[in-house]
Amino acid sequence: MKLAMIGTGKLGSALLAGMLSRGVLAPEDMGLLSRDPQKTGRAAERFGAPVIGRGDLATAEYILLCVQPGAFQEVAAWAGGHPAGYISTLAGVTTGALRQRLGSGRVVRAMPSLAATIGRSQTALTATPGAEAAGDLAFARGLFGAVGDTYDIPEALFDTFTGMSASGLAYTAVFAEALADGGVRMGLPRPLANELAQKLLVSSGELLAERPHPALLKDEVCSPGGTTIAGIRALERSGFRASVMDAVEAATRRGHELGRGEPETETGDS
């Protein structure tokens, strides 16, 4: 078995969808395992990969952990100690903690996002020396590179990467919802407002990719005394920039807390 995946929740399913649709691994090369047998069964039926038991982990070349950080100690108790290379997507759980709990020097830490389902995830990667020497980091680059872009990031910046990039999908969704609500407040039908907000974010991303700095796009759209600069002034008056920066900071700090073992509200699969 090339890869055993522990955890078939939202993130695990997103990774499965991306990897299998892009042919990185075939279903028969994988095995699925979860603390929730019903959830695992549904994932197996959807993706065509077999359900495995805990004893099968001994035959895996790699073990991918896709559970919530709060479940790590429980999962590590029965998933650790195997000769496989370990790849973890647990937010806030350091390579040091992974090595200690899993009893392995071959550990890769990864932080992808739900954008993996459409091949547009940004994934941070870092690895222990043992994992690099064994080629585990190269394998992880190939695995996550099939579902987006990968970045080798110093571990000290992992929580910041998570707070900005991985969590940023939710910030963007909140902005899109607020934008649509503004259109509805000013008279647009809800379906049209939602569609316009969605398409606006897609086109904005494409335009931003063509420019070296986001401010250039803002300046191009803002004409003197026009409607857009009036809207920008309203955003500035409301502390929009500071609120976004605060969101990244809060998410980063929460990553630090999870790394120290502080409790979370959910302890299931990611």
What residues does 6 pair with on adjacent strands? Answer: 33, 65
Q: Which residue in this structure is represented by tokens 């695992």?
A: 40
Q: Which residues are annotated as a binding site for NADP(+)?
A: 6-11, 34
Q: How far is CA 69 from CA 91, 211, 264, in A?
A: 6, 37, 8
Distance (Å, whole) CA 9 – CA 40: 9
Contacts of 225 (CB under 8 A, 6+ apart): none
Q: Which residue in this structure is represented by tokens 């550990």?
A: 107
What are the two backbone dihedrals, phi and then psi, of residue 205, each rounded to the nearest 5 degrees? Answer: -60, -40
Distance (Å, whole) CA 165 – CA 123: 9
Distance (Å, whole) CA 95 – CA 123: 16
Do residues 130 and 98 make contact, with C-beta atoms less than 8 angstroms apart? no
Q: Which residues are annotated as a binding site?
A: 6-11, 34
Distance (Å, whole) CA 26 – CA 47: 10
Q: Six-digit token pair at 51?
A: 């359900």
Largest CA distance in the chain: 69
Contacts of 213 (CB under 8 A, 6+ apart): none
